Each structure stands twice: as structure tokens, then as C-alpha cells.
């Protein structure tokens, strides 16, 4: 299987899960460490629109800044984290599925829907409150605190912060109704 090359100035949904759907984050500290490594290894290589870390998988929506170094940066991130996680949990072998998944995002409608999907992951998978979920970019987007996220660009995609919140709430209600019908 030939993997798509990640191109400069293109936007991608990057995601993966634990091998055999196993847990890859078994504590909040693991998630904080992964985000620290993400920042370290992808600085000046990618800009981040949104992210979410669940116990057995993760999602990032990024724009490539340096296409010559992005694959190595992602590889360094995943390898450094897997090595630390394996050591901490006295395990060996692969932590992640073979290759991280990547989907190029080619239009704004898909991008806005994907941002909501990523932020609503805690609700969809665990019926948790996505607004207070600590390991997604939702709170950082609506906050006024400094962030490395592309906050202003994300808000512009939704026309305003109020509409960003409204769109997430609306999709969340649809998920709740769908869940009740199942």
C-alpha cells in the first residue's frame, strides 16, 4: 500500500489507534506527555486546527508547513511516545497500528464538519461532555488564553465564536437523539 505524500500548505486529518484497538493512553499524564511530544516534534512542521486524544485513538487536523520534515516529525513523535509508554507499562512491541491514517481535506465544508467530529469524539464514544473534555482543542478554541492552535482561522471557518459553539451544540444534540433511537 502506497501512502500519500503530505504536501506543503495542505490540510490533513491524521489519526491512528492502538494495535488491536488497545489503550494507548492509560492516564491523563500519558495524554499530557503525548501533547508535549507533539509540540516538540511538530513545531515548525505543522499547524494545528483541532485535536482529540481518546484512550485508544487520537485525531489531529493539521496544515503542513514543512513537507520535507513532517513524516520524520510524526515518526519521532509516535516512536518516542511508544517507547516511553512501553517502558512505563513493562510491555514490548508495537503500540500503534502499522501506519497512521491520513486524509487530505480539500474543502471548507468538510473541514468544519471534521472539526466538529473531532471535538465531539468524547460524546460519541464515551458519552462524556465534550465541552469540558480536557484532551481536545475545543476549550482552547473558545478560550481567550494564548494557544498555538489556529484558533482565529477555526473561528473564521464558523463565522464567529458563537456560531462555532452553536454548531457543536447542534451536532451534539443530533448525536444524542441518534443514540436514544438505537
**Tens digits of residue pLDDT in 140-180:** 999 999 999 999 999 999 999 999 999 999 988 877 665 54
Q: Can you list the pairs that 137-145 forms with residues at least 24 positions away whose Cβ atoms lie under 8 Å?
A: 137/48, 137/49, 137/50, 137/51, 137/52, 138/50, 138/168, 141/50
**Tens digits of residue pLDDT in 127-140:** 778 999 999 999 99
Count Cα atoms within 13 angstroms, Cβ side, for 105.
20
66, pLDDT greater than 50: yes
Instruction: Give residue limits of the domains in the chain.
Output: 11-181
* Range with the poorest average pLDDT among 2-11, 52-61, 151-160: 2-11
Q: What is the CATH number of domain 11-181?
A: 3.30.70.1290
- From residue 176, how far is each of 125, 160, 169 by CA, in Å? 12, 24, 10
Amino acid at each position: 500500500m502506497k501512502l500519500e505524500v503530505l504536501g506543503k500548505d495542505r490540510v490533513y486529518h491524521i489519526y491512528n489507534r492502538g494495535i488491536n484497538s488497545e489503550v494507548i493512553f492509560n492516564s491523563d499524564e500519558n495524554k499530557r506527555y503525548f501533547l508535549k511530544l507533539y509540540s516538540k516534534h511538530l513545531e515548525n512542521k505543522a499547524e494545528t486546527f483541532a485535536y482529540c486524544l481518546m484512550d485508544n485513538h487520537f485525531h489531529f487536523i493539521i496544515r503542513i508547513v514543512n513537507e520535507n520534515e513532517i513524516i520524520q516529525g510524526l515518526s519521532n513523535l509516535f516512536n518516542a511516545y511508544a517507547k516511553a509508554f512501553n517502558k512505563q507499562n513493562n510491555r514490548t512491541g508495537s503500540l500503534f497500528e502499522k501506519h497512521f491514517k491520513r486524509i487530505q481535506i480539500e474543502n471548507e465544508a468538510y473541514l468544519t464538519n471534521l472539526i466538529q467530529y473531532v471535538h465531539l469524539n468524547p460524546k460519541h464514544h464515551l458519552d462524556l461532555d465534550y465541552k469540558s473534555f480536557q484532551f481536545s482543542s475545543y476549550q482552547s478554541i473558545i478560550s481567550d488564553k494564548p494557544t498555538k492552535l489556529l484558533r482565529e482561522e477555526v473561528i473564521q471557518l464558523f463565522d464567529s465564536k458563537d456560531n462555532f459553539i452553536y454548531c457543536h451544540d447542534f451536532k451534539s444534540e443530533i448525536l444524542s437523539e441518534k443514540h436514544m433511537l438505537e
